[in-house]
A and B are shown apart, each in its own frame.
Chain A
Amino acid sequence: MISTVYAVTLACMAFIAAVFLFVIVNSKEVEADYQGVIKKWYGVRSKWFLFLLTLGIAVSFISTNPFPIPDQKKDYPENGHQVVKVGAHQWYWTMAPDTVETGKPVVFYVTGEDVNHGFGIYDESLTLVGQTQAMPGYTNKLVHTFDKPGKYKILCLEYCGLAHHAMITELTVEKADQQ
């Protein structure tokens, strides 16, 4: 079924692209209105573009350094991480285990058991610390290392029906034993 959807989508996109192409090929150049304004503005425009580009790159670099999300593709040694299996249902969570400890990476394997849900982990002040999509037919991996012990809340972040707002559970993070 998905391949049919892809095919239909691609066909529609090709059709729309063809319409645009047809219009471009058949259009003639006309004398633009407000010639003076255009001339003036075009001079500013290229400088403005360079300014925005530089600003964008600078802000991206500063705000993502250090990068706030841990490496999601890294393989951890057997005893170097904790695994939590998460299932999202209309309208409750299954989570095994529901207790983890601080300092050691937790790998959440998250899947949707019926429709799409969103797995969001919130700390005690209800700040989002990590999230991934819970999709039917897929298992998404989320790696997060908890620094602070406490009762974390799991909320659903994707509208999933009439009790979406009530889809809440708790994850307990305990202080790791002294090593």
Chain B
Amino acid sequence: MSSTAVASGKVEYTDSENRNALFAVKAHLIAGLSVFLLMMLGGLTMRAAQGTWIEIGVDLFYQIMTVHGVGVVGAAMIASTGVQWHFLRKYVRLSNAIFWTNFFIFLTGVVMILGSIFLGGYGGAWTFLYPLPAIYMGAWSTGAAAVFQLGLPGLAS
């Protein structure tokens, strides 16, 4: 497919392409690890609340539960995308620009999801089991649920 492919099947890139790619891979891995560490704090908070070490409102508890569910999936997604991309680009010519685009779509998804949960109050769990996101007994709004759902594909990008 690529004219730069050599006999061994490996693709050759310029030095600056390689530097940029490594930087992008690290960005994906650091983002994944940061989300993962934050989710550990979320998990600890929920366990502490269940163990009556601390007291938090039920709305906040289920908001943390929601962000925790989506967060661990998102962390695995972004980190594994980084690792796979790192190895795949050795054999298939891949574009750094698209990889960075993926990273910024992910960040957009994170912002939307955090906003819908902690500003919009969405606490319907990341599984989004219909019709709970739409029948919420005043705990959040349809808008918050919609922003959460729109943020999901960003996270999964």
Using a CB–CB cutoff of 8 Å, the interface residues on chain A facing chain B are 30-31, 90, 114-116, 136, 158-165
Contacts and interface: CB of A to CB of B under 8 A. Distances in A.
A31 B8 CA distance: 9
Contacts of B72: none
Contacts of B124: 161
24 contacts: A90-B135, A114-B135, A115-B129, A115-B132, A115-B135, A116-B129, A116-B131, A136-B131, A158-B129, A159-B65, A159-B125, A159-B127, A160-B132, A161-B123, A161-B124, A161-B132, A161-B135, A161-B137, A162-B58, A162-B62, A162-B137, A162-B139, A163-B58, A165-B58
B9 to A, nearest CB: 5
A161 B139 CA distance: 8
Interface of B: 9, 58-59, 62, 65, 123-125, 127, 129, 131-132, 135-137, 139
B9 A30 contact: yes
Contacts of B127: 159
Contacts of B131: 114-116, 136
Contacts of A116: 129, 131-132
B87 to A, nearest CB: 11
Contacts of B136: 161
Contacts of B62: 159, 161-162, 164
A160 B139 CA distance: 12
Contacts of A160: 132
A136 B134 CA distance: 13
A22 to B, nearest CB: 13
